[in-house]
Structure 1
C-alpha cells in the first residue's frame, strides 16, 4: 500500500503541468495524449488547419481575376510563419517542456529538499496546482478570449491596415474581406491564440508552483557542489523552453521580414535592436520564476557562512595548535603523513563552496541556450538583408 501511494504521488508530480488549454478540450473529446506520443501528428494537423485552407482560398482568387490576392498572400511572411512554424512549434513544445517540468517538480521530493514536517504543506501545493490546471473556466476563457480578439480585429481594424490579401473587391464580399481573410480571422488566428494562452497559463502555473515551494522550509545545503544549495536543477527548465523561445523569435522576426518583403527598409542595426529586445523579453519571462528562490538561498548562504566559518576557525586553530605551536615531538615528526591535513583540506573546500554559494539558481549555459534559440529566427532574417554573393564570398574566404 505505501508503495502504491508513493507511485501515485510520483505520477501526480510528473504530470503536474500536463493540462490547460487546449489539452482539456482534447481530454473532453477523448483524444488526450498524456505521453505526447502523437504530438507530431497534432502539429501537422494544426499546420494544415491553420495554413492549408488559406493557401487554397488564395488560389481560388486567381480564376476570379484577383491574382493580386495570391501574390500578396505569398509575400506575407508573417502569416506563413504563424501558421506553418509558430503554431506547430507550440504543439511540439508540449512534448519537450511539460514532461521535464514534471520531472523537475518531482526532484524537490526525490532529493529530500522537502523535510518530513513540510510534506503536508507540499502536498497542498501540488493539489492546488492540479486543481488550477484542470479548471474548466480557464479553458472556456481561453477560447472566448481568442474569438473575442478575432472579432475585435474584424470589426475595428480596417482592411487597409492589413496585408492586401485580406481585401476583396468582389460584390457581396462581407466587410470587403476575402474568403482567406475570414478563415484567417475566424480559424487560424483563434487557433494560434488558444495555443499561446495555453502556454501562458502553464508558465503561470510553473511560476506559482515555484513560488509556493520557495515559501516552504526547504532543506538546502550551503556547501552543495552545484553551487546553489541543491536548487540549480530548476535552471534546466530554461532548456525545455527553447522551442517557445524559437516560436516567440519567429513571431517577431516574421514581422520584420514581412516589412522587408513589402518594400520597407530595415538596417542591420534596427534588426539587432529588435532581436536584443526579444531575447531580453524571453530571458526575463522564463528566468523570473526562478528568482523566487533568491530569499531562501540568501538565508541559507548567511547561515552556511556563519556555521562553516565557525567550524573552519575551530578546526584551523586546533590544527595550528597541534602542528605549529606545540613543541616538537615524535608525533609531530611527519606532519604531511598525518590524515589531519587531508581532512582539513576537504573541510576547507566545503567552506569555500559555502562562501561561493549563488543566490540565483540560473545556470549560464541554460540561459545561453535559450537566448540562442530565440535569436535563431533573426539570423535567418539577417541573411535576407545581405546579398547572397556577399554571403558566398565570406564563406569562401573562411576556407581560403
Structure 2
C-alpha cells in the first residue's frame, strides 16, 4: 500500500514513475487487504470484475429460463451493451492500468532526465510532484467516487423505467420498480462497479493534467530549434498513445449501444453509425489531448525569445559572410571559397534557425493522434462488419473517397 505523502515531505526515489498509480478503486482494494496498489494484479482483478459484474447476471438469466421465462433469456443474450460493458469494458479499464500508468510515469521522469527542469526549478518541481502524490492518495476521492457511482446508478434505476430497457430488466412484480432480480444486480453492482472504474480513470486524467499544468508554470529549459519541432517537449505528445486502451474501452461502450439498438429493431444505418463513430473519436482525442494545451504559453514565449535571439545571430553571421565573400576585396582566402568552412557552418546555423519557424505551440504528435483515433474506431469497425454485408460496406467506404 502507498504510504501517505505529506505536501512538505521529502520526495521518494523515482516518485514520478509511481505518480499515477492510484485513485479509485485501488485504495479501496488495499484497505480491503486483498491487493497492493504497487503490484497491480490486473489479470486477477479483471477476472474478479467479470465474475462480480457479469456472471451473476448470467446465472439470474439462467434461473429465469429454468422458471419458464425464455423471453428473458433471449433478451439477455441479445443485449450487446450489457455484455460489452461487463465482459470487455470493465476488464479493459483494469488492464489499462498496466499499460497507461507506467507510460505516464515514464513520460514524467523525462523532465528531469533531460534537464528540462533546471536546477533552480527543482524545489518547485518537487513540490508539484508531492502535491500530485498527495492528491493521488486522498481518501476523499475514493469515497466520492463510490458515492457518485451509486447516485448515478440510483438515478438511472429510478428515472429509466424497465419498459425503455431490454426485456430482461422487467420483473414479475415481486421486486420494487417493476424490475427483475438481474436488473437489480445490474443497478446495485454491475453499473456502479463500471462507473467507479471510469471515475478512477477520470481522476487519473485530472492528475495528469494538473501535473502538466504545474510543470508548464516552471521556467523550463527549452530549446527552440530542437529538431522534433516542439522545443524538446514532443515526448509529452507521445503520451497520447498510452491512452489507446481507454480509447478502445470508450469506443466499445458507444459501439455496443448502437449494436444493441440494431438488434432491438432500431433503424441504424452505416451513415448514422459513421457519424456516431466520428463524434466519439473526436471527443476521445480532444479529452486526452486537452492537457497538452497547457504548454501553449511556454512554447509561445520560447518562440518569441527565439525569434529575437536567432534573428540577431543569423543576421549578424549572414551579414559577415556577405561582407567577406561578396562585398569585400579579393584575397587569397576568398579566391578558393570551397576550401573554407564558412559556408557550411553558416548553412548549418541557418538550417537550425529554420526549425524555429516550424515550432508547434502545442506538443501534439500527429501519429499519436492517429493511433488513439484508430484504437477508438476499432469497436465501430467490428459493429459495421456485423451489421452490413461486406460488399455493401466496401461500396460505402469507397464512395466516401471517390
Interval of TM-score (by shorter of Structure 1 and Structure 2): over 0.9
> Is the aligned partner of 1:182 residue 2:184?
yes
Match of 1:261 in 2: 263
Q: Which runs of 4+ in 1 moved over 3 A?
A: 7-10, 388-394
> Is the aligned partner of 1:377 residue 2:379?
yes
Match of 2:237 in 1: 235
Match of 1:28 in 2: 31
Q: Is the 8 A contact 1:13 1:102 kept in 2?
A: yes
How many Å separate the matches in 2 of 1:392 and 1:237?
33
Match of 2:84 in 1: 81
Match of 2:224 in 1: 222
TM-score, length basis structure 1: 0.93
Match of 2:72 in 1: 69
Map 1:264-343 to 2 at 5 A: 264-343=266-345
Gap regions ≥5 residues in structure 2: 1-9, 397-402
**Match for residue 53 of structure 1 among 48, 51, 56:** 56
How many Å separate the matches in 1 of 2:336 and 2:44?
72
Q: Secondary structure at the match of 1:223?
A: coil
How many Å separate the matches in 2 of 1:130 and 1:182?
37
Q: 1:8 to 1:204 in 2, by over 3 A?
A: closer
**Match for residue 126 of structure 2 among 106, 117, 123:** 123
CA RMSD of aligned residues (A): 1.8
Q: Is the 8 A contact 1:10 1:106 kept in 2?
A: no
Match of 1:358 in 2: 360
Q: Secondary structure at the match of 1:263?
A: coil
TM-score, length basis structure 2: 0.92
Cα offset, 1:155, TM superposition: 2.5
How many Å separate the matches in 1 of 2:345 and 2:157?
74
How many Å separate the matches in 2 of 1:393 and 1:300?
49
Map 1:193-208 to 2 at 5 A: 193-208=195-210
Deviations 1:243-297 (A, max 9, x none): 1111111111111100000011111111111111101100110011001101110
Match of 1:3 in 2: none
Number of aligned residue pairs: 386
Match of 1:398 in 2: none
**Match for residue 169 of structure 2 among 142, 166, 169:** 166
Match of 1:397 in 2: none
How many Å separate the matches in 2 of 1:392 and 1:290?
37
Q: Is the 8 A contact 2:22 2:37 kept in 1?
A: no
How many Å separate the matches in 2 of 1:51 and 1:35?
25
